[in-house]
């Protein structure tokens, strides 16, 4: 896209500018797609700068996250990673996998982003009030704006996310919105069990070195481990039956640092802007 439309006008060559939501209190990002991209950047040792979208700036496609690199904007986490693999010659990360392993990677990627993802959206659609607390984004606001975010805009967000959730399910042959909360938990448990069985005693999905799939898995599992859930039974199931998945918390220590201390330090000076609900809708649904 033309450089005049870039968020970062004075960009450096071969440096990635990752644009995402401001940091949340309980997790580096409540968007699994943003966390996936940032974890991949760290794993691949690609130089990048995190830029807060300040709740207002979206890609030309209306998505978060997006990156700007060498004068070009790329959105959608999967396309972002594919582009960065080519741009920074990182094919070795996944190319070392055998054809069979690549087929497994594709299958589990779909399980995570096309199945387990809906369990997360279900949680957020039913209750996202924590986003307007210290666990969420409340620390980015003060005074009247803090009150408005907590008492007014978050309620509007909840209704709009739920509406989007219902609309998206209406066009699906089988919609998770038709299921009871208990049935959603059952489906999530099956997904987690499948991932746990495949991981087994391995350090990563395919041995001693992480791949893109590990970044995807970590980003989504972190949402169930670190953020408030309407049905905490999912987290309890992981702790009791999927110990190897829960143990991957150490992934956070290696690639994103304990308690996401680095994230907090690397954030730009917070600018208090009026929140636009259209941007926060993307937290659970954009890629």
- Residue 206 or 168, more confident: 206
pLDDT at 253: 57
- pLDDT bracket for residue 249 (50, 70, 90): low
Q: Which two tokens stand for residue 256?
A: 């994103």
DSSP strands (E only) in the chain: 16-20, 48-52, 66-69, 72-75
Q: What is the pLDDT of residues 11-29, one digit of tens each?
A: 999 999 999 988 888 888 9
Query: To the nearest whole number, what is the mean pLDDT of the chain?
Result: 80
Q: What is the pLDDT of residues 99-125, one digit of tens each?
A: 999 999 999 999 999 999 989 988 887
Cα–Cα distance measured from residue 66 to residue 21, given in angstroms and rounded to the nearest whole number: 10
Cα–Cα distance measured from residue 154 to residue 280, given in angstroms and rounded to the nearest whole number: 9
Kindly tell me if the per-residue pLDDT of 150 is higher than 80. no
Q: What is the pLDDT of residues 152-182, one digit of tens each?
A: 666 666 666 666 556 555 545 456 667 778 8
Smallest CA-to-CA distance from 152 within 26, 275, 22, 287 is with: 275
56 phi/psi in degrees, rounded to 5 = -125, -30
- pLDDT bracket for residue 227 (50, 70, 90): very high
Strands 16-20 and 48-52: parallel
Cα–Cα distance measured from residue 175 to residue 54, given in angstroms and rounded to the nearest whole number: 33
pLDDT at 250: 58
pLDDT at 278: 37
- pLDDT bracket for residue 281 (50, 70, 90): very low
* Angle, alpha carbons 207-213-259 (nearest 5°): 90
Cα–Cα distance measured from residue 246 to residue 238, given in angstroms and rounded to the nearest whole number: 6
Smallest CA-to-CA distance from 56 within 285, 287, 282, 286 is with: 282
Q: Which two tokens stand for residue 83?
A: 């582009």
pLDDT at 179: 75
Q: Is the peptide bond prior to 88 cis by the omega test (within 30 degrees of 0)?
A: no
- How many other CB atoms are there within 10 angstroms of residue 258's CB atom? 11
User: What domains are there in the chain, each with its CATH number?
Assistant: 3-283 (1.20.1050.130)
- How many other CB atoms are there within 10 angstroms of residue 63's CB atom? 19
Q: Considering the entire predicted model, what is its pTM?
A: 0.83
Q: Which two tokens stand for residue 135?
A: 């666990």
- Residue 167 or 259, more confident: 167
Q: Which two tokens stand for residue 20?
A: 């995402």
Cβ atoms of residues 46 and 16 within 8 Å: yes
- pLDDT bracket for residue 286 (50, 70, 90): low
Kindly tell me if the per-residue pLDDT of 224 is higher than 90. yes
Q: Which residues lie closer than 8 Å to 198 by C-beta, 6 or more apart?
A: 104, 108, 205
């Amino acid at each position: 896209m033309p450089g005049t439309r870039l968020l970062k006008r004075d960009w450096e060559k071969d440096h990635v500018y990752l644009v995402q939501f401001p940091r949340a209190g309980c997790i580096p990002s409540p968007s699994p797609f943003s966390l996936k991209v940032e974890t991949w950047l760290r794993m691949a040792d690609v130089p990048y700068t995190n830029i807060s979208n300040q709740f207002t700036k979206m890609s030309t496609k209306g998505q978060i996250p997006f990156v700007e690199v060498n004068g070009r904007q790329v959105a959608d986490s999967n396309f972002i990673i594919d582009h960065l693999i080519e741009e920074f010659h990182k094919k070795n990360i996944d190319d070392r996998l055998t054809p069979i392993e690549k087929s497994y990677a594709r299958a589990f990627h779909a399980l995570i982003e096309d199945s387990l993802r809906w369990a997360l959206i279900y949680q957020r659609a039913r209750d996202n009030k924590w986003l307007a607390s210290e666990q969420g984004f409340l620390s980015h606001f003060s005074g009247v704006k803090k009150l408005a975010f907590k008492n007014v805009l978050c309620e509007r967000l909840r209704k709009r996310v739920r509406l989007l959730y219902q609309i998206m399910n209406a066009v699906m042959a089988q919609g998770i919105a038709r299921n009871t909360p208990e049935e959603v938990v059952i489906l999530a448990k099956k997904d987690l069990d499948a991932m746990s069985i495949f991981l087994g005693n391995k350090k990563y999905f395919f041995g001693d070195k992480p791949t893109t799939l590990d970044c995807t898995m970590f980003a989504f599992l972190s949402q169930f481990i670190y953020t408030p859930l309407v049905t905490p039974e999912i987290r309890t199931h992981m702790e009791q039956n999927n110990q190897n998945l829960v143990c991957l918390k150490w992934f956070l220590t290696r690639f994103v640092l304990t308690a996401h201390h680095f994230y907090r330090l690397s954030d730009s000076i917070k600018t208090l802007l009026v929140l636009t609900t259209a941007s926060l809708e993307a937290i659970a649904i954009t890629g």
